Amino acid sequence: NAGVMQNPRHLVRRRGQEARLRCSPMKGHSHVYWYRQLPEEGLKFMVYLQKENIIDESGMPKERFSAEFPKEGPSILRIQQVVRGDSAAYFCASSLNTGDQETQYFGPGTRLLVL
């Protein structure tokens, strides 16, 4: 059973471009979470999605950031008009369900560098 997969592993963008980060959850998992890890900081929750639904986006910046988890295909974290401050590692996690004892399994992350 393959783990959580993220691609690309590294992404370089110039200011003003768009960044698309993909996350394929573990097989059978229908819950996806995105986290951002800024240099020298811990991980910050961004958004929680189930198939075709955004459940909690309280950690998402109000502008330029969006996320989706379509019925078919991976979850996408999209950053429009990137700025240097968006440079970070973005981690995706998935879980089978929510509630007691449902563990989040993390992908290897996508490291975004904005020039």
Partner 1 sequence: AQSVTQLGSHVSVSEGALVLLRCNYSSSVPPYLFWYVQYPNQGLQLLLKYTSAATLVKGINGFEAEFKKSETSFHLTKPSAHMSDAAEYFCAVSDANNNDMRFGAGTRLTVKP
Cβ of residue 81: shortest distance to partner 1, in angstroms?
A: 27
User: Do 31 and 48 contact (CB within 8 A), yes or no?
Assistant: yes
- The footprint of partner 1 (CB under 8 A) covers 4, 6, 33, 35, 41-45, 48, 55-56, 58-59, 91, 93, 95, 98-109, 111
The whole-angstrom separation of Cα 104 and Cα 20 is 22
Amino acid identity at 63: E
Nearest CA among 114, 62, 107, 61 for reference residue 85: 114
Cβ of residue 93: shortest distance to partner 1, in angstroms?
A: 8
Cβ of residue 110: shortest distance to partner 1, in angstroms?
A: 10
The nearer residue to partner 1, 52 or 56, going by C-beta atoms, is 56
The nearer residue to partner 1, 52 or 102, going by C-beta atoms, is 102
Cβ of residue 17: shortest distance to partner 1, in angstroms?
A: 23
Q: How far is CA 79 from CA 26, 66, 83, 107, in A?
A: 24, 7, 9, 19
The nearer residue to partner 1, 59 or 76, going by C-beta atoms, is 59
The nearer residue to partner 1, 24 or 95, going by C-beta atoms, is 95
The whole-angstrom separation of Cα 16 and Cα 29 is 34
Residues in the chain: 115
